[in-house]
Amino acid sequence: MKPQTLLSALSLTLLLAACAGPQAPGTVNGANPVPGSAEDLGTRPVAVGPDTVEPAFDNVPVVSGHVHAPDPAPTFRDLPRDARLGAATIPRGTRLSAQALPANAQTDKVELRVLVLSSGEGDFGLDSARAMLQQSGVPYDVLDASGQTLDQSRLINADGTGKYQGVILTSNALLTQPTSGVYISALDSSEWETLFAYEAAYKVRQLALYGYPGVAPEDYGLRAVPGAETSTTSMTPNAAGKGIFTDLTGTALPIQYAYSYPSALEPVTGVTTTPLLTDPQGRVLAATSTAADGRERLLITTSQNAALLHTQLLGYGLVQWLTKGVHLGEHRRFLQVDIDDFFSAGDHLNSATGQLYAKPFRVSAGDLISVDYQQNDLRKDFKVASQFRYALVFNGGGAKTSSLGSCLFYWLGSDQLTSISKCLKNDFDWVNHTKDHLRLDVIDYKTASEQIAGNFTIGSKLGLPVNRKSLVTGEHSGLGNMDPSDDGTHNDDDVNLPKQDLGLTRSNPNMLAAADSAGVRYLGADHSVASQWDASCVTCGVQHPLNPNLFLVPRWPINMHYHVTNPAEVLKSYNSIYAPGGTRPYWDHALSYTEFLDKESDLALNHMLGGGAFPHYLHQTNLNQYALGKSVASDWVRAALTKYSRYSTLPLNTYHWDQLGDYLKSHTLEEKAKAAGTLGAVWDRTTNVVAISSRGGSVPATLTGANSGTPYGAYRALSSTVNGTVNVAVTPR
């Protein structure tokens, strides 16, 4: 623990002067501006090294919480490491008779919707198909080929328009394996003929997420290389692949836990095959192929899983290829990092004893100056994160509103942290975290209002650009994840009551009413609590069931715990849980700090590639400058950005919290309308105009591929509100 004594003005001046060179702090070009003047506040404070002493603090809220321990690694289910395939047998057609196209076929018009064909129970590719479509907001239907007949009525509407703009096969032959080593297609020959006739007539692309490169049900011009089968390899895009996977850097994508059939080209009459992804030996792992009837197909010979890195990274490019870059919805990625409990003091873990220090920890002015430089360095070092900034989720009860606002003389203020926060107010996003971080599960309206509205008032007095529609309650309290026997007598102390997910209907109505009355529209929620996120729509937020004015923004917890300030403390807490002998042992050894950052950045990468606009949250303790220009919070962000930038060039969005809430609510309303079938679109490819229609009143709609709109990656997305029908010009790729 740092000593709790004040730096004298002289010693601090000498320290800053030593860091800054011959010009002393508190001067500009040799002049002495007035503390708090425009000249003072317009000057960037000089970075200082780690504090040798910590300014005293008193009468600030002390946050004593519990360690939130999410799973230490991505959850892999139904891994396809043994997903072996073989030559397919196609049953003779018995379900259908020959089907000619209807007389009214409008082959140049298709709905903006994708058909996913599954082989039935145990189809590991189905989750992957769903995930990549959901991440891009593409509407889709699933047909279980093992129990449903694929006839013309499933492909063509009564008015002759096509029902689908693209088809995904979870495996190229929709294989079932009734007995070991025997592979039978779930579709019979007449159903395959019906599908191929539709794709040819309506010029619909077909994506096979995984396939054995043989000849049935059709030939892609590839053959498996005997003996090359593997579950561990890598794939690299060639020049043609980079044209489809426009967001990839070209770095080889690792393939683990996924079976692959490296292949070679095979000349086939009428078939043109173009390799896209190859293994280290140059063998083909993915290729486009044009059939003799003109149909465009893409086959991947590596199995997929929604939680595996190569599947997540390929999804964006695959969807854009399948839809020709024109589809409802958009693919967008985010990096939002919240720092909770700002202005408060918090528990502080002793890495030697594993106990808490007697005195809690509160970041210093020097720490915040360093964090400002750190986030600037992150923006500079990572092009994909040019918008990045921390959101400071603050408890105004720990600030001193009367403290001098100054960039050069902050050490003269009655509270240095408040003073430097006034200086750096425009460099961070500011979010209401209640005045004193009280537990709001059981609390009266008056107190809840004092905590919520009162914190907005403090933010205004401090001159902070606070988000006026957003609130994160302490420990996400008041939302039904609570001790069912809580009587409200421990709302302002450090008793850690055991929590149960009682559901959002057990939210505290007094908290909801106080938030609503204060103008709050967006509430931070806990993504690790089942009732506080929507499993049916993985990129959606949640409308609060008790108050239609309040919308939940789920936040990801991470394993950078609330009471750690340096790497040693991080490891002490983490390994006490996940190392051998820990409370939830997972790894086979105690991790080093490098290993810890590697594992946690895997989780962050998983979340970022998932496309959800959900913040990660840390705590003010994690901002401590433990070494020159370093904090464990920024170490984690840097590790995540390093890993992301290794593979992808798609920008990561960082929104102000109110903007984030607006985006997520609009996105959720759109996704729910598409799922309900009340929002849809038809693409006329003779005119390249998409007619977007809403049958459920006014709803948000987003169209990727529009001629106007906001560019993101290689495509534009146009967002609008639709009530009835709106026509939008598009350019396919």
User: What kind and span of H or E run contains 418?
Assistant: helix 416-423
pLDDT of residue 653: 98
Report the pLDDT value the prediction gives residue 82, as an integer from 0 to 100: 65
Q: What is the DSSP string of 334-403?
A: E--EEEEEETSEE--B-TTTSSB-SS-B---HHHHHHHHHHHHHHHHH-GGGTT--EEEEE-GGGS-TTS
How far apart, in Å, do the first and last CA atoms of the chain sit? 59
Counts of helices then strands in the chain (DSSP H, E): 14, 34
d(CA 133, CA 484): 39
pTM metric for this prediction: 0.94
CA neighbor of 441 nearest in space, from 468, 481, 410, 398: 481
Instruction: Output the pLDDT for position 24.
Output: 41
> What's the pLDDT at 482?
95
pLDDT at residue number 20: 38
pLDDT recorded at residue 496 = 77
pLDDT of residue 83: 79
Residue 495: the pLDDT is 76
Domain locations in the chain? Answer: 113-325, 333-653, 677-733
Give CA–CA dist 250/543, Å, rounded.
40
Assess contact for 110 and 156: CB atoms under 8 A. no
Fold topology of 113-325 = Rossmann fold (3.40.50)
pLDDT of amino acid 31: 59
Residue whose structure tokens are 């499933």: 154
Q: Which of 311, 326, 87 is nearest to 209 (CA)?
A: 311
pLDDT at residue 14, rounded to an integer: 32
Q: What is the rounded CA–CA span in Å between residue 703 and residue 166?
A: 16
- Rounded distance, CA 186 to CA 689, Å? 36
Handedness of CA 455, 461, 463, 465 (dihedral sign): positive
Please report, for residues 116, 338, 340, 488, 640, the alpha-carbon distance to residue 458 in angstroms, rounded to integers and kept in the order given: 53, 19, 17, 25, 34
Contact between residue 187 and residue 117 where contact means Cβ atoms under 8 Å apart: yes
Single-letter amino acid, residue 645: S
652-653 vs 429-432, strand pairing mode = unpaired
CA distance 202 to 220: 20
Block means of pLDDT (10 residues each) for the chain, length 733 residues? 35 37 44 87 93 82 90 78 80 75 95 97 91 97 96 96 98 88 90 96 98 94 95 97 97 95 97 98 98 97 94 97 98 98 97 96 97 98 98 98 96 95 98 97 97 98 98 97 92 83 98 98 98 96 98 97 98 98 97 98 96 97 98 98 98 98 98 97 98 96 96 94 97 94
Q: What is the dihedral of CA 594, 599, 604, 605, to 10 degrees?
A: 100
Mean pLDDT rounded to a whole number for the chain: 93
Looking up tokens 């993504």 gives: 527
Could you tell me which CATH number the domain at 333-653 has? 3.20.20.370
Q: Which amino acid is at 728?
A: V
pLDDT at residue 371 in the model: 98
Token pair, residue 77, equals 């289910």
